[in-house]
Amino acid sequence: MSEEDESMGEQSDNESGLDFILSLDDVPSKIPPHLELFKTRVLCNSDAPIHTDTIHYAGAYAVLGVDNSQQFDSFRKNFKVEVKRLTDSDMEFDMIGIDPAIANAFRRILISEVPTMAIERVYIANNTSVVQDEVLSHRLGLIPIRVDPRLFEYPDNAGDDNNERNTIVFGLHVRCQVGQPRITVKSEKLKWLPNGSELPCEDVKPNTSSKPKTFTSFTCSQNSLPGFPSNSIDLTDSDIILAKLGPGQEIELEAHAVKGIGRTHAKWSPVATAWYRMLPEVVLLEDIVDEQAEELVNKCQPNVFDIEDIGKGKRRATVARPRNCTLCRECIRGGKEWEDRISIRRVKHHFIFCIESTGALPPEVLFTEAVKILEDKCERVITEFS
């Protein structure tokens, strides 16, 4: 029996010599704890954070006999997402076990590559307000529109063909009557025109019976298209101030929204902002008791520490809410002895990711879209090089 076992063992050793070597007792399968600490944590010292880099190279620990390459299986085993907060406009979630390179790609894509609709062309028929045409147009451009950009196509490069598939038209006509008090024009005054532009783009000849040509060529009303909201395309906020009109002043214009990405102009960015931070980790290197514990709790503005009773009238500081830590490092100020008591760290592969949507899409959909965009990029590169 034992002979059989041995011969089988030998056979598999021959097939994969490396595995055999790695299974030996004196060959480490893990890097030493101090290196593991430097690899997975940023140490936030009182002067500066250290070990901020991530170690990517597969052979980084080859001299120790440890393989640093990450296989997809281990990524799949360790990766975890935990949603912490979710509302209509913002969300916070933890992304655990992912490299900053990938997390940052998601963040960058969210800010500059997920498409939305925004007002791009403004045709001003009349503007006698104090706000200049170009300033007014700029303000209109920045208004977030609550519409799913996936229903639309990008405009063609020449920009001639404005149809129901790539343009949303809003009309605005406000007038302050003479003798009336000044009025404030808010974004609610922008009215969606599902049938397209109503402004003639050429001089109307007096005796033509046909309809004058407008700035868009819609073949049907956007109301009737599948997937579109049946009632109305709204703006996210109806109370954005666009201009103020004095008696006798008037604004009449038409605004055309098209699909675009944040890299071209920030008005197309679907997020107010998207950011992440690494998970804070606060470690008490020695027991902090009595007056010192009190001092510590009072020093910490974000309220990370608590005090617990440990019997015999003694009290000890504990780390109760490390997530609150803002890295102010106030707790390790006050001399070498405090630096030796507390270690403030950040977990390198644990991201607290926050997304604030401007309203075009809910934040969770935005994140999924961002991941899809990165996938598409990979796919594009693979096909290009095949």
Binding interface with other proteins (CB under 8 A)? 56-59, 67-70, 72, 75-76, 79-83, 86, 93, 95, 98-99, 101-102, 104-106, 108-109, 113, 264, 364, 367-368, 371-372, 374-375, 377-379, 381-382, 384-386
What is the C-alpha R_g of the chain?
31
Q: Hey, how many other C-beta atoms are within 10 angstroms of the C-beta on 38?
A: 17
Tell me how far, at minimum, the Cβ of 218 lies from other proteins, in Å.
25
Tell me how far, at minimum, the Cβ of 66 lies from other proteins, in Å.
12
Tell me how far, at minimum, the Cβ of 273 lies from other proteins, in Å.
16
Nearest alpha-carbon partner for 235 in 142, 162, 165: 142
Rank residues 178 and 378 by Cβ distance to other proteins and give the closer one.
Answer: 378
Tell me how far, at minimum, the Cβ of 18 lies from other proteins, in Å.
11
Rank residues 68 and 343 by Cβ distance to other proteins and give the closer one.
Answer: 68
Q: What are the backbone dihedrals phi and psi of residue 273, each rounded to the nearest 5 degrees, phi first?
A: -165, 160
Q: What are the backbone dihedrals phi and psi of residue 145, each rounded to the nearest 5 degrees, phi first?
A: -110, 130
Note the maximum CA span of the chain.
Answer: 109
Rank residues 280 and 363 by Cβ distance to other proteins and give the closer one.
Answer: 363
Lookup: tokens for 179:
């003798």
Tell me how far, at minimum, the Cβ of 356 lies from other proteins, in Å.
17
Tell me how far, at minimum, the Cβ of 206 lies from other proteins, in Å.
35
Rank residues 63 and 378 by Cβ distance to other proteins and give the closer one.
Answer: 378
Pairing of strands 250-260, 168-175: antiparallel
Nearest alpha-carbon partner for 116 in 156, 168, 159: 168
> If you search the block for the tokens 């519409």, which residue do you land on?
147
- Give the Cα separation of 247 and 249 in Å (integer): 6
Rank residues 347 and 371 by Cβ distance to other proteins and give the closer one.
Answer: 371
- Give the Cα separation of 181 and 75 in Å (integer): 65
Rank residues 125 and 381 by Cβ distance to other proteins and give the closer one.
Answer: 381
